[in-house]
Structure 1
Amino acid sequence: MRIAQLESRTGVGRHTLRYYEQEALLPGIQRRANNYRDYPESAVRQVELIRQLQSFGFSLSEIRTILNGIQSNEVDCAQGAQLLAEKRLDIRKQIRQLRQVDKLLAAEQVRLEESAARQACNVSEQFS
């Protein structure tokens, strides 16, 4: 498939797709006789996996290590387990921080709702 099709199917821009290719995150890309890139069907899933891992906080370097291990079927289990353990710690920290932010936002929401209710009472009393 051409890059426009891959872009359309994944929602990832062509500049990013070319960057992924340059960073060796998208293997198996052939060149046609007209020098256009020809992406395999598997590139769709590969791009989706890259985006998911990025959204979980994995760096492109870490993603490359994971993808290389998957593609070669030679995963260093100890290294993989350590990487995942570190990411889980990061995620737990983010969850704690998000819970704190949620509590602050909930308190502010209550304060604003109470203020709005008082203002509505004051307005209705003026017109009575």
Structure 2
Amino acid sequence: MEKVSIRKESSLAKVLGTLLSIVGALVVTLYHGPVLMSLQSDWVTGGGLLALQNILYSLSYLVMGILNSGYYIIHTWAVIYKGPVYLSMFKPLSILIAAASTTIFLSESIYLGILVGGILISVGFYMVMWRKA
């Protein structure tokens, strides 16, 4: 477990970076705002990807059973050598990756909330990683 000392500059940067990432994740999730860029929706591609997902769903369970042990080994290594903050900081990035993926693959419109939240998540993430180093 990491010790937090508000008087140290590195601890303060870690706490502020974590809070900034959490606020950014909340902004991406809860606030849409005005549309910045609208793309035409391709229902054929989206439907094809949905069908492919359902077909490959059983295969994903097999792959997960094989890779699951490696997943836990990597998480354990990260917590032991880098600390719990290092591992937990990647969770808000998954929200940003999901938002970017829906924009790229499903032609979802880009909203102001996604842009602002993505910037907050990225700044908070790099603030924590910078002070962690």
Normalised by the size of structure 2, how large is the TM-score? 0.29
Higher relative contact order (CA 8 A, sep 6+): 2
* Higher share in helix: 2
TM-score (norm 1): 0.30
Structure showing greater Rg: 1
